[in-house]
Chain A
Amino acid sequence: MGLKLENVSKKFVGKQAVDNISFEVDKPGVFGLLGTNGAGKTTTIRMLLGIIKKDTGEITWNGKPVERKSVNFGYLPEERGVYPKTKIYDQLMYFAQLKGMNKTDADREIKKWAEVLKVQEYLPMQAEKLSKGNQQKIQFMTAIIHNPELIVLDEPFSGLDPVNTEILKNVIIDLVKQGKYIIMSSHQMASIEEFCTDILILNKGKTVLKGNLKEIKETYKANRLELITDKNVDETIKEFNMNIEFSKNNEYSIKIDSEEKAHELLQKLVDNKVQISKFEIKKPTLNDIFIEKVGE
């Protein structure tokens, strides 16, 4: 069950956009598709939506090959777009009908989602009169209005203010609770860490890392110490041959080789009667892992 990509490749003139990638989204939840600009994320998304054809490999949804005609996925593209001169209600109705809904159902869903996303007052307005963030919420509505089983969200939070980001996050959480399969592509690693159970990192069209996010992070040993003291302890840290990545007002972020060495430093500071308000040994964040995998 779910979405499965096996050995999928796509080549454009002189460029291998996607090179033999495989992954599976076999249970409801959010799957993170990561990569630098030009890594092949959009091509992968377009192939799994059936907009463009793959050169090789298999893409299946619930065991059946994905074809544009046979699937009815939801899609929020990275390129935000609305009909500028058309009323919001009219364009939502247009897309809902194209996705197979009748007018009555479409009207009900438009009103329901407009209330959830707090855009009811904009329904009779032309799209060009809305702020970018509100236009984005309208496009999000277009992606989910027909209640699809699989939803692809490309950079869903970019351009949204904190209030609207929170609204959208709650909607995504609700969709997961309803058993939806969501593929999220984003450069905001914090969002990916917050939502995704599984991830795939692409670099130059190739898979460089994939799997369960928690398990991936488990494989990485602690590499950073965060420390807050009552006095300057630069000299003590240097005695332990540790590299200070950041320091300000006795707040330190220190690169460490091992947890033992961090504890030795702690002991030394205690011995020196330094008051410590924070001592936290940290594992690499997704951001660190991403940079390690795709940074050159």
Chain B
Amino acid sequence: MKDLKTVVGFTIKEMVKRKSFIVSTIIILLIIIIGFNIPNIMKIFNGDDQSSGGSKLLIVDSTNLFEGSLEGLNNMELGYNVQTTTDNLSFDDIKEKINNDEIDEAIIVENNEGTYKLRYIVKDMTMLVSMPQNLMDAINTIYTNLQISKLGLTEEQIQSLTPNFEYSIEQTEEQKVSGNVLAMMMLSIVLFYAIYFCAYQVSSSITTEKTSKIMETLVTSTSPRTIVLGKTIGIGLVGLLQVCVFVAVALISAKLFLEPGTLESVLDMSQMTPYLAVITIIYFILGYFTYALLYALTGSTVSKPEDIQSANTPVALLAVIGFYLSYFTMMNPTSDLNTFAALFPISSPFCMPFRIMMGIASGVEVAISIAILLVTILVIAKVAIKIYSNAILNYGTKMSFKDMIRIYRDKNN
């Protein structure tokens, strides 16, 4: 136990001191902070801040079709500072105004033999395929209201013209599914990357010890089991801490840099319960142990850094299969395949938190899934430690799968 603590402590110290770890952590933190600031950055580049009242839009209504009612657009919080004119301005006049920064964009209302055409003029239409939908809807509403007001209808008649429907959605399946797919996919992806990259570190750490020839000194100082478990726990703790820091910085950034309600409009924050947080951490730990021990096994079979990639390929494939099994069955969460993915040990760490978030995982299902993962970890640990114990002193060529089976079966090893 004392040795295990020593190996864990040394592994943590080695990990956090590594330049690649420090640099990658800083880069990811910067990406998170910059990511949450993208709306603010875009505003700065567009010169579109609160003080200017939005993009300057000039509407040229030379036919006076809207009878001055378009000023009402300013009250609809569309993000535009609307000015209207009945002057007969041409495309070239508008172009000059845009170039002189008098306006950002314009709409020219033209009467084309009885049909009206609205020409939307912008400086650069690279990011646009048409006039923004909210602007079109608002103009249509203003025009409709203008025409209705001319009919001399009573207030009640006018109100009856406005739809007042309540929409809802229900399902015939008994399992109740709730939640927002974006949040779930994000959770699944974050779990996959966190588990995969942390686990991969175990393999590279073991191969580094083999290539630096320190292994022989190490195995005479403590047991192979202590080395494998100590490394796995140490790297896992650093990974967990790193993920927690990323999540904390993301939440703080969202709070500081996003306008109130923005995050809630994209993610349903009501689903982020303490229970989900605890379950996610449990699945991170179990998923990490599953893959880290597999990587410990493959890492011990090579003695040259250039062989790591090929030795790790089978584990990487398993992880990718597990992830996609979980990811694609999210589209149909009540399917049997999704239930299978939530129980199957290579996919359950990525799938079960998502099912819990959707409210379709029962307590029994969660307990069975965790039990299967624990048994899997014990089996993998037994095999990995036995093969590791014998493979670490092999400095020859990369061991084959056949060699691994032979080592495992050899009662003298």
Instruction: For residue B249, give the distance in angstroms from its CB to the closest CB of chain A.
Output: 27
Q: Which residues of A contact B218 (CB under 8 A)?
A: 98
| A51 interface residue per 8 A CB criterion | yes
Does A98 lie within 8 Å of B6, measured CB to CB? Answer: yes
What is A's interface to B at a CB cutoff of 8 Å?
13, 46, 49, 51-55, 68-69, 73, 75, 77, 79-86, 90, 94-95, 97-100, 139, 142-143
Q: Which residues of A contact B2 (CB under 8 A)?
A: 97, 100
Does A83 lie within 8 Å of B223, measured CB to CB? Answer: no
| B3 interface residue per 8 A CB criterion | yes
CA distance A85 to B213 in the complex (A): 14
The number of residues on chain B lying at the interface, defined by a beta carbon within 8 Å of a beta carbon of chain A, is 28
Among B7-15, B34-42, B104-112, the stretch in contact with A: B7-15
Q: Which residues of B contact A69 (CB under 8 A)?
A: 223
With A79-B395, A86-B14 given, is the CB distance from A95 to B219 under 8 Å?
no
Main secondary structure, interface of B, reads: helix
With A82-B212, A85-B18 given, is the CB distance from A139 to B6 under 8 Å?
no
Instruction: For residue A159, give the distance in angstroms from its CB to the closest CB of chain B.
Output: 13
Q: Can you sample 27 A-B contacts with CB below 8 Å? A: A13-B406, A51-B219, A52-B390, A52-B413, A53-B412, A54-B412, A55-B412, A68-B220, A77-B216, A79-B213, A79-B395, A80-B213, A81-B215, A81-B217, A82-B214, A83-B212, A85-B14, A85-B18, A86-B14, A90-B10, A94-B6, A94-B10, A95-B221, A97-B2, A98-B3, A98-B7, A139-B217
| B147 interface residue per 8 A CB criterion | no
CA distance A47 to B223 in the complex (A): 15
What is B's interface to A at a CB cutoff of 8 Å?
2-3, 6-7, 10, 13-14, 17-18, 209, 212-223, 390, 393, 395, 406, 412-413
Instruction: For residue B302, give the distance in angstroms from its CB to the closest CB of chain A.
Output: 16
Which residue of the partner chain, among B217, B222, B393, B406, contacts A46 with CB atoms under 8 Å?
B393
CA distance A81 to B221 in the complex (A): 14
With A51-B393, A85-B18, A98-B3 given, is the CB distance from A75 to B214 under 8 Å?
no
Which residue of the partner chain, among A55, A68, A99, A143, contacts B223 with CB atoms under 8 Å?
A68
Instruction: For residue A106, give the distance in angstroms from its CB to the closest CB of chain B.
Output: 11
Instruction: For residue A104, give the distance in angstroms from its CB to the closest CB of chain B.
Output: 15
Q: Which residues of B contact A99 (CB under 8 A)?
A: 221
Further pairs besides A13-B406, A99-B221: 10, Cβ < 8 Å = A51-B220, A51-B393, A68-B220, A81-B214, A81-B216, A82-B214, A83-B214, A85-B14, A85-B17, A95-B217
